Amino acid sequence: MTDKSISRRKFLTNSAVVGTGLLVLPSGTLFGQNRPSNKLNIALVGAWGRASQHYGALQGENVVALCDVDKNNLAKAKAEFPQAAEYEDWRKCLDHKGLDAVLCCTTDHTHAFVANWALNRDLHVYLEKPLAITVNEARTLRATYLKKKGKLATQVGTQRHAHPNFNRLREMIQDGAIGNLKEAHAWARHAQSRPGYLPAAGPAPAHLNYDLWLGPSPEHPYNPGYFELGDRAGLGCQSWNKYWDFSMGYAGDWGSHTFDLVWNVIDAERPTSAKAESSETPNPETTPADLRASFMIPANDWRDEIRVTWHQSKTGPGSPLDWINLDTISHGALFKGDQGYVIADFQKRLLLPFGKNADLSYFDPRDRADTAADLGHFQHQWTNACKNGKPAETACNFEYGANMIETLCLGLAAFRAGADLDYDGAAGRVTNVASANEYLTKPYRQGWTMDG
């Protein structure tokens, strides 16, 4: 065994212990000392759409406050949680008396705002993906979280992370199944684009507070096109998430899920550089459909420096073998080591040793007892962590999630700047193309601050 694989094994043993440490304390012993039940008081911000897919997971808790800018959607949530107080403005909702936690399913351009305000109020947060839509938002949220780490439980809504395949991939690659890791790719197909912001189309309907929907976003006139899929729970985001002022496009949408397959393996913080390729020229209004963004990720104690690439396009990475067609995997990952490849989707993985010495003699798979415990129910991992005194143990806490989305946002900045970027991750600055720094943030409407 090399020094790196020894330290890798030591690290994995440690993380396996962490992984099995999730214990829910008996009712009332830690959280909610003065409560008759061990239930969290939760505010659901953005109360329908994707939120409705969390209703079941929240049945064991007290949903005490509902917030939605659309009265019709608020009414649907109220039918589910009749005892809850109703709010239109999340800034007021977060001050609801007695709150413990917030589950946020609003538009992407408000995620970092809602979450940062909630952390500032010492509330636990489950935040739908993407965690943020710019480098600066991700960094702000991570910084706030780190100040509260050990006290507040956070989870980014990348629920596919609960598939045991995530742990198995991490273990097999870190245990050396493909030798030394050299590069990694993640891809998702079917990205779409939009031509530009929609034209004014009269006033918003009375049930929608469009001004609050815009929130911190720069002003755009109302157009029903931004809501055209809003009656289909969990699909409404497809109406607005290709516009820079409202989101970050496919990299935040499926990137949050699929890039996670790679991010969970590589133990990365932030990249040192980013470059982007696309068949499209940057559109100042809308996000690209076709993008290949790659990042240099510094070495750590178990692997060398590696290149990691996010592909959102019809073509992903080349297949290692012509009889394996990666195009049939709509959301997947490819890991390349000096002794072979691993190909994966969310639930399956395929080990492909290659080369003269790829006899697997170098691979020492761990005993079953040393494998990480299954994460279990993803949302319950968060509600449990809110209560059990081990809040940092959620799989997709805001440190992990912010590092990942900061990386994807940097890839978009490279695309928009039309340049290869060198990045100082400690400072959060592009060091070689000063003008690219404008793409690390975005304009906000006057009166809105993340730090409320």
Output the CA angle 153-158-161, nearest 5 degrees.
95
Site for ligand NAD in 316-355 (CB under 6 A): none
How far is it, in rounded angstroms, from Cα 387 to Cα 26?
A: 10
- Quote the least distance from Cβ 107 to ligand NAD, whole Å: 4
Told to check if 216 binds ligand NAD by CB under 6 A, we report no
User: Counting contacts by CB under 6 A, is residue 67 touching ligand NAD?
Assistant: yes
Q: Which is nearer to ligand NAD, 105 or 169 (CB)?
A: 105
Instruction: Supply the minimum distance, in Å, between the C-beta of residue 277 and ligand NAD.
Output: 25
- Contact segment (CB under 6 A) with ligand NAD among 4-12, 100-108, 301-309, 358-366 equals 100-108
Mention every residue, 6+ apart, whose C-beta is less than 8 A from residue 306: 181, 182, 183, 184, 266, 296, 297, 299
Total count of residues recorded for the chain: 452
Our CA angle for 235, 383, 140, nearest 5°, is 70
Indicate the residue type of 50.
R
Number of helices (H), then strands (E), in the chain:
10, 15
Measured from the CB of residue 346, what is the shortest distance to ligand NAD in angstroms?
11
Site for ligand NAD in 5-64 (CB under 6 A): 45-50
List 105, 162, 396, 410, residue binding ligand NAD (CB under 6 A): 105
Tell the smallest beta-carbon distance from residue 385 to ligand NAD (Å). Answer: 18
Asked if residue 198 binds ligand NAD (CB under 6 A), the reply is no
Among 31, 54, 118, 157, binds ligand NAD (CB under 6 A): 157
Beta carbons within 8 Å of 80's beta carbon, 6+ residues apart: 52, 55
Name the token pair of 72: 């019709």
Contacts of residue 5, Cβ cutoff 8 Å, sequence gap at least 6: 175, 176, 302, 364
Segment interacting with ligand NAD (CB under 6 A) among 66-74, 317-325, 400-408, 442-450: 66-74
Least distance to ligand NAD, CB of residue 286, Å:
16
Query: Could you give the CA distance from residue 52 to residue 48 in angstroms, rounded to a whole number?
Result: 5
Q: Which stretch binds ligand NAD (CB under 6 A): 168-176, 229-237, 346-354, 359-367?
A: 229-237
- Taking the complex as a whole, the smallest distance from the CB of residue 68 to ligand NAD amounts, in Å, to 4
Nearer to ligand NAD by Cβ, of 128 and 171: the residue is 128
DSSP codes of every residue in 13-35: HHHHHHHT---PPSTTSSS-TT-
- Before 288, cis peptide (omega within 30)? no
Residue 237 touches ligand NAD, criterion: CB under 6 A: yes
Q: Which is nearer to ligand NAD, 225 or 234 (CB)?
A: 234
Contacting positions for ligand NAD (CB under 6 A): 45-50, 67-70, 73, 90, 105-108, 110, 128-129, 157, 159, 212-213, 215, 230, 234-237
